[in-house]
Amino acid sequence: MLNARDRRDWPPEEGAAAGLQGFTVDKTFFSSLKGILLETELVFGIILASVFSYDAFKIYWTEMAPRATQGDQQ
């Protein structure tokens, strides 16, 4: 006889619904304190990455990019 333990060891069912089985969204999590902190951390991380990228571009532009010297301009 098959019982619940044997059924757990079977491979997951195939299909679109089986692929989404582990990706349900707990809507109460996002309204909890931990969810709000996670959202804030993600936004802060995006802003921080953007600032670092901009700063790296500006450093590259001022230090590494070829510039015209005064002799080349004449």
Amino acid at residue number 32: S
Give the Cα separation of 35 and 15 in Å (integer): 31
Q: Report if residue 2 sits inside a domain.
A: no
pTM exceeds 0.75, yes or no: no
Q: Look at residue 42 and tell me if it is in a domain.
A: yes
The three-state secondary structure class of 68 is: coil
**How many domains in the chain?**
1
Residue 70 forms part of a structural domain = no
Residue 10 located in a structural domain: no
Q: pLDDT digits over 59-68, tens only?
A: 988 888 776 6
In a domain, 41, yes or no: yes
d(CA 14, CA 20): 11
Residue 42's domain spans which residues?
A: 26-64
Q: Is residue 74 part of a domain?
A: no
Return the higher-pLDDT residue of 49 and 5. Answer: 49
Task: Report the Cα 74 to chain-centroid distance in Å.
Answer: 50
Q: 48 lies in a domain?
A: yes
- Chain segment 7-66, per-residue pLDDT in tens: 566 665 565 555 556 667 778 888 899 989 999 999 999 999 999 999 999 998 888 877
